[in-house]
Amino acid sequence: MLENEKEICNCNMIEEFMNKIFKTYLPEKDNLIQILNEVQDEFGYIPKTAQEKISEFLKIPMAEIYGVITFYSRFTLEPKGKYTISVCLGTACYVKGSQKIMDRLKERLKIEPGQTTEDGMFSIDQTRCVGACGLAPVFTVNGEVYGKATVKKLDEVLDRIKIRRIRGLGFGDGFKILIIKNRDFKPVPESLF
Amino acid sequence: MKTLEEIHKIKEEKRKELELRVHTDLDTREKHILVCHGTGCTSSKSIEILENFKNIIKEKNIKNVRVVKTGCFGLCAKGPIVIIRPEDTFYANCKPEDCEEIIQTHIVEGNKVERLLCKDIDGKIVNSLDELNFYKKQKRIALKNCGVINPEDIDEYIAFDGYMALEKVLKNMSQDEVIDEIKKSGLRGRGGAGFPTGQKWELTKNVDSEQKYVVCNADEGDPGAFMDRSILEGDPHCVLEAMIIAGYSIGANKGYIYVRAEYPIAVQRLQTAIDQAKEYGILGKNIFESGFDFDIEIRLGAGAFVCGEETALLESIEGRRGHPRVKPPYPAQSGLWGKPTLINNVETYANITKIIINGADWYNKIGTKNSKGTKVFALGGNVNNTGLVEVPMGTTLREIVYDIGGGIPNNREFKAAQTGGPSGGCIPKEHLDTPIDYESLKEIGSMMGSGGLIVMDDTKCMVSLAKFYLDFTVSESCGKCTPCRIGTKRMHEILEKICNGDGTEIDIIRLEKLALNVKDSSICGLGQSAPNPVLSTLKYFREEYKEHVTYKQCRSKECKNLAQIEIDASKCKGCGICQKNCPVNSIEGEGREIRKINQDKCIKCGTCLTKCPFNAIK
């Protein structure tokens, strides 16, 4: 289990959040998955502090909570990167070539699905169907869906994020509009990064 | 709280307002702009489109126009979709910037925006929904309200006979009468296995217990299937109503909907629907003054495919790892917390209200001898009209793929259709004319499944497709029973070996034997059906397996290690980018010459494929 500095200083925040959601649930064992879902949505992973709190609240051993977390693919024990890119590998997307997009993503970021880059910027996820089969193949960046994807489109998105990072710009709402407006945008050589 | 009289009044008043949604020839000055808010369209900006419409109408102070968000229209390939009623104009692939033009030209001036009108596959411009080939052979029962009503407004649901089935049941029918009606209708479970619904209800009713539960299985994990999600997003109230009816007939007063957390829109609309129903007194104590109480709670899944299996789902609701239980006892005898539990799929519930209102005799006239009614399919893959289709049972695959789906893109040839997701099998060209129902699909080695229907053209390799599905079941196997946990893993390894070009004839025989073993000895439906993709591809595409092992060839060039990478001389411009990037210097040629690959040196890494700016390398 991961206990980095970030988590230690977030302890108070986590405790505060946990106390808040405990007010909305009865201390019954069947609420475990609902509570874990809320924690996952809030922090992007399930911190150890949160697990301890849940264990006390629901009177379930830590080991059992750990078992539930590792069983369900939606829960993670490590913080995700700032940008989580998920490629849909559902059948409809697979048939239309999403494996190529996944391969390209792995090649560019040099990590495997489920991992995060060392600088904490990117995570890769593989999802089974986000339900946008009509737009296959599909990948999402932090939940925003990019339909009818191609390797080129993925490259453009990655390049955009990297450039904005060099210039010290954030990845705000303007990001998507930028991509759409700059259709003739040329990738910047890797050596610049 | 609303009394029955008040609800009847809402129905009458609202129905008058909404009449133009269903009658295209209505003479009225009022117009409704319907914007699809299913997941497909919202991911391509339909929320922004709706906002734009509202702002423009407010700005220009236009009267008699209403902008409505609706559920899925079905034709996701053309999304975002905007439909203007009563004239039924169908605008496809709309963008937020187009709103201004639609309002100005269509609403103010009364002309159609030609460039946005939907085109059929043959290029013909379509003026209204009914003209589209996509809708001609469909019959919408489960999806009746999807794309007609605003899913977040209970009044609109009531206007189209909503909660009337519940009233009929609570006021005029006994428990046995409801169950008889469902039995007579011939409705079978739409979750995949096709167990007769009425019989399931009767079994649960006959168990003597103080506490019983009704559960709705909305854990639609099959990749490529999204009909349950569309029903929940487009018409959440019809599921609630059917669950209350089910509760009344079996004697339960608590219901759970187990829905995937990956469907945020569906979850939110369900919650809204439950809140509204509670506000109207349709959920809660003493519903319609009949003395019957019922309450529904939502439970979120957390991304485990096996939780779609009914007993694993129950474990998950109880807050544990989703391990399937050994059957019997069936959930009807001992389900949630050991109490008798009725579990049905979303689509099954969506049929119930229509059966109660229109009668079992109306319903059992639709469909084939043993499979009644309609089935919703999520049509995807290499087909022109991807989206949601609802057809009567007994429709042939050819009708679905060619008439409704509009055929295969780029004039390619149909190779196979895959039904039932990772639990189903592939249907080859020879069986295109088989009428689809539960029995016929089983006979040809596939299954109905929840309703994903993926079409594949001749560029797909069937061996790697089987590998793809096994990859899925390996990662989703819960690990409780050995045949599934280890068997699927070994099957996957053999397939990997074949795809890499290291396979032998014996591997094929071993694979088949292992597949049959896993099928016979697994505990739950996941393991029992996991070998289906392997067995059906072995049955219909055995020669492809043989080519992989004897000639080390993959005819569709999908298996990288078996494919030869070649440069198309007609497309190559001699830029030399591939040459620069090749890690083993296997590409020959100088200057502006057309390049060639030296097959002896090539390691098939595929770098040149992605680098070529002209797509000349294949």
For the domain that residue B528 is a member of, what is the CATH number?
1.20.1440.230
Q: Which of these three, B363, B398, B433, is where a domain ends?
A: B363
For β-strands A122-127 and A139-141, DSSP reports them as unpaired
The percentage of residues in chain B with a pLDDT greater than 70, rounded to a whole number, is 100
pLDDT of residue A172: 41
Find residues 15-54 of chain B whose CB sits inside 8 Å of chain A. Answer: 39-40, 43-44
**Are the beta carbons of B88 and B73 closer than 8 angstroms?**
no
* Residues spanned by the domain of B242: 154-363
Whether B319 contacts chain A with CB within 8 A: yes
B394-415 pLDDT, tens digit per residue, is: 999 999 999 999 999 888 899 9
Mean pLDDT along residues B551-575: 84
A177 pLDDT above the threshold of 70:
no
Query: Whole-angstrom Cα distance, residue B194 to residue B371?
Result: 9
Highest mean pLDDT: which of A100-104, B177-181, B438-442?
A: B177-181
Q: Are B412 and B380 members of one domain?
A: yes
| Residue A90 distance to chain B (closest CA, Å) | 4
CATH code, B80: 3.40.30.10
At residue B435, does pLDDT exceed 80? yes
In the predicted model, is pLDDT for residue A151 greater than 90?
no
Domain limit, last residue, from B527, B551, B575: B551
pLDDT (mean) for A7-11: 60
Same domain, B126 and B51: yes
Q: What is the CATH number of the domain that holds B389?
A: 3.10.20.600
Are residues B114 and B183 located together in one domain of the fold? Answer: no
Considering the domain architecture, whether residues B434 and B468 belong to the same structural domain is answered as no
| Residue range B548-559: mean pLDDT, rounded | 86
Q: Is residue B11 assigned to a domain?
A: no
B452 lies in the same domain as B468: no
**Which of B133, B345, B396, B397 is closest to B225 using CA atoms?**
B345
**Stretch 132-191 of chain A: residues touching chain B, C-beta under 8 Å:** 132-136, 138, 145, 147, 151
Give me the mean pLDDT over the B172-182 stretch: 95
A94 Cβ neighbours under 8 A, 6+ residues apart = A137, B223, B468
Q: Residue A164: its pLDDT value, please?
A: 64
Interface test with A, best of B81, B228, B410, B454 (most A CBs within 10 A): B454
Is residue A178 predicted with pLDDT exceeding 70?
no
What is the arithmetic mean of pLDDT over A140-144? 81
Q: How many domains does chain B have?
A: 5
Residues B127 and B201 in one domain: no
Contact B504, B447 (CB under 8 A): no
Are the C-beta atoms of B346 and B218 separated by less than 8 Å? Answer: yes
Regarding pTM above 0.90, the answer is no
Among chain B residues, the shortest Cα distance to A99 is held by B468
- Determine contact: A24 vs chain B, CB below 8 A: no
Question: For A26-30, B176-180, B246-250, which range has the lowest pLDDT when averaged over its residues?
Answer: A26-30
Q: Which two tokens stand for residue B214?
A: 């009704």
Q: Looking at residue B67, what is its pLDDT?
A: 94
Mutual angle of helices B236-250 and B264-279, in 10-degree steps = 60
A59-to-A29, A54, B302, B552 alpha-carbon distances in Å: 8, 8, 21, 58
Q: What pLDDT does B52 receive?
A: 93
Over the stretch B316-340, which tens digit does the pLDDT of each residue have?
999 999 999 998 999 999 999 999 9
Cross-chain Cβ contact B226/A33 below 8 Å: no
What is the secondary structure of B530-582 as a DSSP string?
TTHHHHHHHHH-HHHHHIIIII---TTS-STTTPPP-B-TTT-----HHHHH-
Helix or strand run (H / E) with residue A144? strand A144-146
Interface size A-B, in CB pairs within 8 Å, comes to 128
**Domain identity same for B416 and B342:** no
Q: Is residue B197 part of a domain?
A: yes
Long-range contacts of A16-25 (CB under 8 A, 24+ apart): A17/A42, A17/A43, A17/A50, A18/A49, A18/A50, A18/A53, A18/A54, A18/A57, A22/A53, A22/A57
- Of all residues in chain B, the one with the smallest CA distance to A75 is B302
Ordered DSSP codes for B287-328:
GGGSS--BEEEEEE--S-GGGGSHHHHHHHHTTS--PPPPSS
Query: pLDDT value at position B274?
Result: 96
Amino acid in position A97: G
Q: Supply B34's token pair.
A: 């319907």
* Nearest-Cα residue of chain B relative to residue A36: B302
Among A70, A75, A88, A95, most B C-beta atoms within 10 A, so best to mutate, is A95
Do the domain assignments include residue B491?
yes
Residues of A in contact with B77 (CB under 8 A): 134
> Does the pLDDT at position B423 exceed 90?
no
Is A31 an interface residue toward B (CB < 8 Å)? yes
Domain boundary at B308, B328, B363, which?
B363
Q: What is the mean pLDDT of residues B176-198?
A: 93
The pLDDT tens digits for B136-162 are 899 999 999 999 999 999 999 999 999
The SS3 call for residue B452 is strand
Q: Is A106 helix (H, G, I), strand (E, B) or coil?
A: helix
Please report whether residue B557 resides in a domain.
no
Look over chain B and give the mean of its residue pLDDT values, rounded to a whole number. Answer: 91
pLDDT greater than 70 at residue A5: no
Q: Within an 8 Å CB–CB cutoff, is residue A11 touching chain B? A: no
Least confident of A69-78, A182-191, B48-57: A182-191
**pLDDT at residue B513 is higher than 90:** yes
Structure-token pair, residue B49: 């489109």
Is A83-192 CATH 3.40.30.10? Answer: yes
Query: Are the beta carbons of B460 and A95 separated by less than 8 Å?
Result: yes
Q: What is the mean pLDDT of residues B579-586?
A: 84
The mean pLDDT value of chain A amounts to 79
H helices present in chain A, as ranges: 5-22, 32-43, 48-58, 62-71, 91-95, 98-109, 151-166, 174-181
Burial class (CB in 10 A: 0-12, 13-18, 19+), A163: middle
Residues of A in contact with B224 (CB under 8 A): 90-92, 129, 133
What pLDDT is recorded for position B86? 86
Residues B357 and B425 occupy one common structural domain: no
Higher pLDDT, A174 or B13: B13
- Contact criterion met (CB < 8 Å) for B302 and A74: yes
> What integer is the mean pLDDT of B496-521?
94
User: Tens digits of per-residue pLDDT, A92-135?
Assistant: 888 888 888 999 899 889 998 888 888 888 889 888 777 777 78
Residues B351 and B382 in one domain: no
| B147 part of a folded domain | no
Q: Indicate if B475 and B355 belong to the same structural domain.
A: no
Shared-domain flag, residues B531 and B469:
yes
B118/B57 same-domain check: yes
CA distance A10 to chain B (A): 25
Chain B 450-469, residues with CB within 8 Å of chain A CB atoms: 452, 454-456, 460, 468
Read off the pLDDT band of A175 (50, 70, 90).
very low
